[in-house]
Amino acid sequence: MKIIVYINFVLTILLIGGFFWLLFYQKPKEIVYVTPSSAPAETKVEEVIKTVFITPVPTVTVTKTNQTTYIPITGPITTTSSSWYDAPGTEFYLNTADYGKTPYLTWSASLKVAHGNGTVYARLYDVTHGIAVNGSEVSISNKADLTQSYSGSLNFWANNNLYRVQVKSLNTFEVTFGGGRIKIIY
């Protein structure tokens, strides 16, 4: 019996508390009164339009920043061959699809000619298709110290293909490929 009295007491307190909460803490609904006006409706509409402020929605501009990746090609490789010489240890696989839809690829080679007399040529060779990479031939003339030579934009065949560096000397003087790298911007 005591429990029932206690429960009734608690429920009564909650009911009274809820009533006072509704009475004092709830905001009353706003009432809008319309008063008749002698001004034409068009004038009132213009007044309302003048007081409405439109806040522009901020626009978000996403700018994509390019990423750059390098594929190092090790050297040094020395030869006196006047025909294209396959530089051992310079092989690498490349799949341009790994770098987005339109990657920009170039390569650079560090080259020299013994005694600074003659010309050294280097190029990338597509072993998979048996052809030189178009536009990859670079050269240095009359430089006894390793000097960087840069290609323009290169177009590689699709899919994962094997490439290597080929080197040759113009006049059978000793030439050196000191190393290089493929630069990929995507």
As averages over each run of 10 residues, the pLDDT of the chain (186 residues) reads 78 78 64 61 62 72 87 97 98 95 96 96 98 97 97 95 98 97 97
Question: At 164, which CATH number?
Answer: 2.60.120.1340
pLDDT the model gives residue 120: 98
pLDDT the model gives residue 179: 98
Burial of residue 113 (CB within 10 Å: 0-12, 13-18, 19+) is buried
Number of domains in the chain: 1
What is the distance between the alpha carbons of residues 103 and 155, in angstroms, rounded to a whole number? 9
Q: Would you say residue 97 lies in a domain?
A: yes
pLDDT the model gives residue 61: 80
Q: Would you say residue 11 lies in a domain?
A: no
pLDDT the model gives residue 10: 80
pLDDT the model gives residue 25: 64
What is the distance between the alpha carbons of residues 170 and 168, in angstroms, rounded to a whole number? 7
Q: Would you say residue 166 lies in a domain?
A: yes
Q: Would you say residue 103 lies in a domain?
A: yes
pLDDT the model gives residue 32: 57
Residues whose CB falls within 8 Å of the CB of residue 182, separated by 6 or more in sequence, listed in order: 70, 71, 73, 92, 94, 105, 106, 107
pLDDT the model gives residue 31: 60
The Cα-based distances of 86 to 80, 81, 154, 180 in angstroms read 12, 10, 20, 15
Q: Would you say residue 162 lies in a domain?
A: yes
Q: Would you say residue 100 lies in a domain?
A: yes
- In which domain, by residue range, is 155 found? 68-185
Q: Would you say residue 135 lies in a domain?
A: yes
pLDDT the model gives residue 64: 78
Q: Would you say residue 54 lies in a domain?
A: no
pLDDT the model gives residue 15: 77
pLDDT the model gives residue 13: 86
pLDDT the model gives residue 83: 98
